[in-house]
Amino acid sequence: MNIFKYLIRHFFKVFLFLFSCLYLAQGVAQNKKALVEQINNRGEAYILIKVPDKKTLYRLNKMVSIDRASVRKNYVYAYVTSPQLNKFNELGLEYSLQTPPSLKLAATMCPDLASVKNWNCYPTYNQYIDLLNEFATNYPDLCKLDTIGTSVTGRLIPVMKISDNVSQDEEEPAFFYSSTMHGDEVTGYVLMLRLIDYLLSNYQNDNRIKRLIDSTEIWINPLANPDGTYSAGNTDITGATRSNANSVDLNRDFPYPGNVNSPYQKETQDMMRFMESKHFVFAANFHGGAEVVNYPWDIWSTRHADDAWYIKISKQYADTVHANSTAYMTDLQNGITNGYDWYSIAGGRQDFANYYLHSRETTIELSSTKMPDAASLPAYWNYNYRSLLNYIDRVHYGIYGKITDTLGNPVKAKITLENHDTDSSEIYSNPANGMYYRMIAGGTYNIIFSAPGYDTLIEQNVTIGDEEQLRLDVVLKKSTTYIPKLSGDFAQIKQINNPFNTSLNFNLYLLENVGQIKFSLFDLSGKKQKELFFNTNSGDNFLTINTDGLSKGLYLLKISSKQFVLRKKLVKN
C-alpha cells in the first residue's frame, strides 16, 4: 500500500513538472508571436529584458537599441527590429513585451496653426512646416529657413538659422540644437519650436537675447526624424516610432571610433554633411525617456580630454533646471552622467561630433516620459529655457581668435593643447575665415598652432579662467622647408567596408583641401562601372557610393585629384 501511494505521488509530481514545462513553452511561444506581430505592425517592438550581468549587456547592446538600462536592477528596456530578432533570440534572455511609449497616451494635436503657439499641443507635420515658414516670413532679417535634407520617404528636415546678419557667414561661433532623432521622443521637438519663437520675438526687447543673436550663429533643427514621429501619418504623432521608415535607430547609425562600415541611412548622411559644413563649435541633441545631461564618451570608458569642462557645463545646465523645478532632472548623478557610465552605445551622434568633427556635443534627455501629456509642455519649457539660453552662451567662454598667414588670408590650422588633448579632442579653425573657439576649463596651457605648409607656433603659458573670454590671434608663417606630402600621406582611405554589398562607405582623410575629387570603379576587365565626383574638405570625409546593381566579384577603386592618386582592390559579395 505504501509503495502504491508512493507511485501515485511520484506520478503526479512528474505530471505537474511536464505540465509546467509545456505551459512555459507555450507562454514563450506566445510571447515570441506577439513580439513578431508588433514588429510587423510597427517596424519595431518595445520590450523589457532581464540582463544577468554587464557582459551580457555589452553583447545585447550590439543587437538591439537599448533605451533605458539599470545594471543594478538587472533589466533594460529596448527596441528590437526584424533584422535584429534572430540574433536577439539566440541569447535566450527572458523578456516581456511592453506597450510602446507613444501608445500609452493619445497625443493632443493642435487644431490649427494659430494654436501651435500656445505650446500645449503637438503640431501636425504640415503645421510644423508652415510655422517655420511663418517665422522666416515675419523675421527675414533675423532668421533663414534651410534644409538639412529629406527623410527616407521624402519629408523635409528643416533647420532654422538665427543671426543678426542672417544672410552672411560672419566671424562668429556656430551653435547647433537638434531634437527628436528618436521619433517617439517629442518633448524637445516642441521646446525647440518654442525656442525659435522666443529668440525671434524677444530680440528687440531683451538685451541678453539681442547679444546672443548678434554674437552667435544659432542653428535649430526641431525634428531630425519626421518619418518616425509621423509614422502613423502627417496629422498625428500617436504611435510614433523610435526608428526611421527603414526601422533603423538613427542614433546608432553614425560612424564611431574604429568603425565607418555601416550603410548609413539617408537622414544620417545628410546630417553628417550638414554638420561638417557648418563647423559647429558646440551642439546638443535632445532625447526623452530620462532626465539627464549625458556627456562623452558613449563608446569608451576612457574619459574625454575635456572631462572636467563637460562635467562643469552639464552641472550648470542641471543646476539651473533644479532652481526652477521640483524633483526634475535628478536622474543618475543628480541630472548628469558620463555616457559610458550609464550604458555604452556605438554609433551615437554625440561621439561622431566629438571624434570626427572635433566639435563638442552632449545628449540631453528632457523627460522621463517620451511623449508627455501636451498640457505639461509649458512646464518643461519653464524648467529648461534658462538652461537652453545659458548653453548657447557657452560658446563665448574660452580661448578664441583668428589664424591668418602673413598676408592676412585665413588658415585652417589645428589647435592642440600640449599634454592635454587626446582622442581627437584638438580643434580646427574655420577655413573660410580662420576663426577658432576653444572652450576649456580654467587653467594654464601651452597651445600649439599647426598647419601644412606653415611653421608651427607654440604659445606658452596661456592662462584662462572658467568664466573668461581670451582672444588670441595668430599669424602663421609659410615654411621654407615644407615638402609636399606623397599620396600615401596626403590622402588616406582610413576605413572602408571591404567586402562591400549595396554601397561603399568609407572615410577619406585629406591633409589639405583639394576641391573636387574623382572616384572611379573598374571591374576585372578594366571596364569603368562607376564614376562620381565629390567636393571634399581637409580632414575626414565620410562618403558613400551606391553599388546596388553591380555584379559580385573583384573591383579596383581609383580615387584621384591633381594632387594624388589612390588605388584599392575591393570585393563585392
DSSP output for 352-377: HHHHTS---EEEEE--SSSS--GGGH
Architecture of the domain whose range is 113-384 = 3-Layer(aba) Sandwich (3.40)
pLDDT for the residue 515: 78
CA distance 494 to 498: 12
* Better pLDDT: 469 or 54: 469
Q: How far apart are CA 275 and CA 475, in angstroms?
A: 27
pLDDT tens for residues 415-460?
999 999 999 999 999 999 999 999 999 999 999 999 988 999 999 9
Active site residues: 365
Q: Considering the chain, what is the average pLDDT of its residues?
A: 90
Q: In the prediction, which pLDDT does 7 show? A: 47
C-alpha cell at 400: 578664441
Write down the domain spans for the chain.
2-98, 113-384, 398-476, 487-572
463 beta partners = 444
Please tell me whether residue 569 adopts helix, strand or coil conformation: strand
CATH 2.60.40.3080 fits 487-572, yes or no: yes
Query: Residue 83: which pLDDT band, with cuts at 50, 70 and 90?
Result: confident
More confident residue, 340 or 500: 340
The C-alpha torsion from 150 through 83 and 64 to 371, rounded to 10°, is: 50
Classify residue 114 by burial, with Cβ atoms within 10 Å: 0-12, 13-18, 19+. exposed
Least confident of 201-215, 261-275, 285-299, 482-496: 482-496
Mean pLDDT check: name the lowest of 117-121, 140-144, 285-289, 535-539: 535-539
| Sign, CA torsion 299/304/309/312 | positive
Q: Give residue 52's pLDDT band: very low, low, confident or very high (50, 70, 90).
A: confident
CA 137 – CA 548 distance, rounded (Å)? 42
pLDDT of residue 435: 97
DSSP labels, 375-390 = GGHHHHHHHHHHHHHH
Q: Which residue has the cell 549595396?
A: 502
**Model pTM score:** 0.86
Residue 509: band (very low, low, confident or very high) from pLDDT cuts 50, 70, 90: confident
Within this chain, domains 398-476 and 487-572 share the same CATH topology: yes
pLDDT tens readout for residues 531-544: 888 888 888 888 88
- Asked whether residue 24 carries a pLDDT value surpassing 90, the answer given is no
Q: Which of 110-114, 361-365, 512-516 has the lowest mean pLDDT?
A: 512-516
Q: What is the pLDDT of residue 528?
A: 87
Q: What pLDDT score does 507 carry?
A: 85
- Give 367's contacts (C-beta < 8 A, 6+ positions apart): 187, 288, 289, 291, 380
pLDDT of residue 394: 96
End-to-end Cα spacing for the chain: 72
The predicted pLDDT at position 176 comes to 98
Q: What is the model's pLDDT at position 544?
A: 83
- Which pLDDT does position 16 carry in this prediction? 45
d(CA 54, CA 282): 32
Pick the CATH number of 2-98 from 3.30.70, 3.40.50, 3.30.1490, 3.30.9: 3.30.70
Between CA 282 and CA 556 the distance in angstroms is 40
In this predicted structure, what is the pLDDT of residue 139? 98
**Mean pLDDT of the region 553-569:** 84
Assigned C-alpha cell, 218: 544659432
Report yes or no: 113 and 130 within 8 Å, Cβ to Cβ.
Answer: yes
Give the per-residue pLDDT at 362: 98
Fold of 398-476: Immunoglobulin-like (2.60.40)
Give Cβ neighbours of residue 273 (< 8 Å, ≥ 6 apart). Answer: 149
pLDDT of the residue at 483: 64
Is the confidence at residue 4, as pLDDT, over 70? no
Confidence at residue 26, expressed as pLDDT on a 0 to 100 scale:
47
Which of the four pLDDT bands, split at 50, 70 and 90, describes residue 85? confident
pLDDT band at 495 (very low <50, low <70, confident <90, very high): confident
Alpha-carbon gap, residue 177 to 391, rounded angstroms: 10
Lowest model confidence (mean pLDDT) among 49-58, 92-101, 304-313, 353-362: 49-58
Is the omega angle on the peptide bond into residue 297 within 30 degrees of 0, that is, cis?
A: yes
pLDDT at 11 over 70: no
Question: What's the pLDDT at 22?
Answer: 42
pLDDT for res 21: 39
- Tell whether the model's pLDDT for residue 355 goes beyond 70: yes
Q: For residue 25, is pLDDT > 50?
A: no
Answer yes or no: is pLDDT of 233 > 80: yes
Average pLDDT of the segment spanning 361-376: 97
Higher pLDDT, 15 or 215: 215
Q: Kindly tell me if the per-residue pLDDT of 488 is higher than 70.
A: no
What pLDDT digit, counting tens, does each position of 241-273 carry? 999 999 999 999 998 887 776 688 999 999 999
pLDDT at 73: 65
